[in-house]
Amino acid sequence: MADAALFEFLHTEMVAELGAHHSDPGPGGQKMSLSVLEGMGFRVGQALGERLPQETLAFREELDILKFLCRDLWVAVFQKQMDSLRTNHQGTYVLQDNSFPLLIRMASGLQYLEEAPKFLAFTCGLLRGTLCILGIKSLVTASVASLPTCKFQVVIQKT
């Protein structure tokens, strides 16, 4: 079984490498590298979701699925639960992690705030991918006010 630290090391290196390779100095640059990372996270999220046994997938409500992400998925990926889940009961959810492991190694507070989005892109995709397999189309974005706390916003797309 692969140790959790390996994923963190790999993720950090991916951000450094793909971030450099895919950005250009123009304004579109960073966006391109973020979408590459997000896309990879999406595929991994789908693959993780596909491996869940059928019983786990028998959710009754949308909220149950979000709770599953906050508890089971987060524990599997980050060895901790999400710290809070809020919703407007109209398809928008805000998941808050007060000490997001992929941001922990960076200084806390406001330093590196500009760098933070690159470290969140993969995870946004991961959430979006798992939701996709669970039958939910969504848009997932993340914001950081102060490291290492971050919020993931999940907006359910009604088809």
Partner 1 sequence: MSRQANRGTESKKMSSELFTLTYGALVTQLCKDYENDEDVNKQLDKMGYNIGVRLIEDFLARSNVGRCHDFRETADVIAKVAFKMYLGITPSVTNWSPAGDEFSLILENNPLVDFVELPDNHSSLIYSNLLCGVLRGALEMVQMAVEAKFVQDTLKGDGVTEIRMRFIRRIEDNLPAGEE
Q: Is 135 exposed, middle or buried (0-12, 13-18, 19+ CB in 10 A)?
A: exposed
Does 44 help bind partner 1 (rule: CB under 8 A)? yes
The nearer residue to partner 1, 58 or 90, going by C-beta atoms, is: 58
- Work out which of 28, 55, 60, 90 binds partner 1, going by CB under 8 A: 55
What type of residue is 52? Answer: L
CA-based max dimension of the chain? 48
Within residues 66-95, the interface with partner 1 by CB under 8 A covers 71-73, 75-77, 79
Q: What whole-number distance in Å separates Cα of residue 35 and Cα of residue 14?
A: 13
Binding mask 18-37 for partner 1 (x = CB under 8 A): x--xx-------------x-
Q: Is the dihedral of CA 16, 145, 41, 11 positive or negative?
A: positive
Structure tokens at 120: 């969140």
Q: Compute CA 39 distance to the chain's CA centroid, rounded to the nearest angstrom.
A: 11
With CB under 8 A as the contact rule, which of the stretches 51-59, 85-93, 94-102, 149-157 interacts with partner 1?
Answer: 51-59
Q: What whole-number distance in Å separates Cα of residue 81 and Cα of residue 74?
A: 5
Shortest distance, CB of residue 68 to partner 1, whole angstroms? Answer: 9
Residues that bind partner 1 (CB under 8 A): 1-7, 9-14, 16-18, 21-22, 36, 40-41, 43-44, 47-48, 51-53, 55-56, 71-73, 75-77, 79, 122
